[in-house]
Amino acid sequence: MELGNSNTTLKEYDFHVDFQHPKKSTFKGPHTITVPAYTTLCGAGNGACIPEPDSGGLLDALGDRLMFRNAYRNFGDHESMVFSHSVAPGKGSSATAAVRWYELRSTSGSKFSVYQAATFQHKKDNYWMGSIAMDKVGDMALGFSVDNSTNLDPSIWVTGRISSDPLNKMESPVKLRVGTQVQGQINRWGDYSSMGVDPDDDCTFWYVQEVTDGGYNWQSHATSFKFNGCS
């Protein structure tokens, strides 16, 4: 899966591996999938444009690519893929960055198409470097970096939705760790953001993201949680 040639498309590829007969393996695509329009982050979609407070420099956006990782699920009656990327927010926000997320579905072997999608944004805070996953009952969790240019150092938030929530909606975010330092004049940031599901119970989410004490003193913050309806 990758971003398409316009702000309304994605490219999807099908890879089938035949280990007994490798020559029968196939790779097909790209298949164009139409998605709700979004605005590319940082103009050209790459580079550093995320502002920090306290005279901090601009942080990497990586808006030209999908974030880690494309998470796949087979529920029997349908297949799902969830993933996200950083975009510019829409109306109602003065922030620089927001997180666009998707769930694609395929039923009975049909081609994947958008089942739900939305841009998760705040009125003034920047949301970027997201990662999303889905548990065994269809609940979703989305973690991301957050800051603003006035009073919030780079921090870690998480949002999510249970399978019975209205389509295209995430719930209110939860603060996992509030930042205490800016990155300074170094623009590299947080592309190690990773949301995964624990294989032991297939319910517990683990989210790992970057924090900093300034400069090159990067740290990884890990948090685990699960939804009440998954057991």
Degrees, nearest 5: CA angle 16-65-55: 155
Quick one: pLDDT at residue 85?
96
At residue 179, φ and ψ (nearest 5 deg) are -65, 155
SS3 assignment, position 188: coil
User: Which pLDDT score, from 0 to 100, does residue 214 have?
Assistant: 74
Q: What distance in Å separates the CA atoms of residue 146 and residue 227, rounded to the nearest whole number? A: 22
Q: What is the pLDDT of residue 66?
A: 95
Whose tokens are 């510019």? That residue is: 88
Separation CA 9–CA 35 (nearest Å)? 5
- Report the pLDDT value the prediction gives residue 183, as an integer from 0 to 100: 87
Q: Tell me how far apart the alpha carbons of residues 155 and 208 are, in angstroms, rounded to a whole number.
A: 12
Q: Which residues are paired to 196 by β-bridges?
A: 206
Query: CA 39, CA 52: separation in Å to the nearest integer?
Result: 21
pLDDT tens across the length of the chain (231 residues):
999 999 999 999 999 999 999 999 999 999 999 999 999 999 765 689 999 998 788 999 999 999 999 999 999 999 999 999 999 999 999 999 999 999 999 998 889 999 999 999 999 999 999 999 999 999 999 999 999 999 999 999 999 999 999 999 999 999 999 999 998 778 888 767 999 999 999 999 999 999 887 777 888 999 999 999 999
pLDDT at 44: 65
CA dist 72 and 151 (Å) reads 37
Before 53, cis peptide (omega within 30)?
no
Within 10 A of 57 (CB to CB), how many other CB atoms are there? 15
CA distance 131 to 82: 9
Q: What is the pLDDT of residue 94?
A: 97
